[in-house]
Amino acid sequence: MPWRELKPMDLKVMFIADYLSGRLNFSQLCAAHSISRKTGYKWVARYNADSVIVLRGQASLLQNSM
């Protein structure tokens, strides 16, 4: 059975889910996901702005649908 490769979007969604759970402080959360705090703050800001659509990098789809 082959290894399941995680896509970048999967990693972002997992990070946001852990962030929303509040189990770890932000530094611990970023370390657990092997990302910098700067990247973590960027992902959280994008999530807060427009939820999952922006995390996917598909903000243009949102604008085109309006």
User: What pLDDT sits at residue 42?
Assistant: 95
Per-residue pLDDT of the chain (66 residues; tens, 9 = 90+): 667 787 888 899 899 999 999 999 999 999 999 999 999 999 999 888 876 665 566 555 545 544
User: What pLDDT sits at residue 53?
Assistant: 61
Alpha carbons 55 and 16: distance in angstroms, whole number? 10
User: What pLDDT sits at residue 47?
Assistant: 86
User: What pLDDT sits at residue 25?
Assistant: 97
User: What pLDDT sits at residue 51?
Assistant: 67
DSSP of the chain, one letter per residue?
Answer: -PPPPPPHHHHHHHHHHHHHHT-S-HHHHHHHTT--HHHHHHHHHHHHHHTHHHHTT-HHHHHHH-
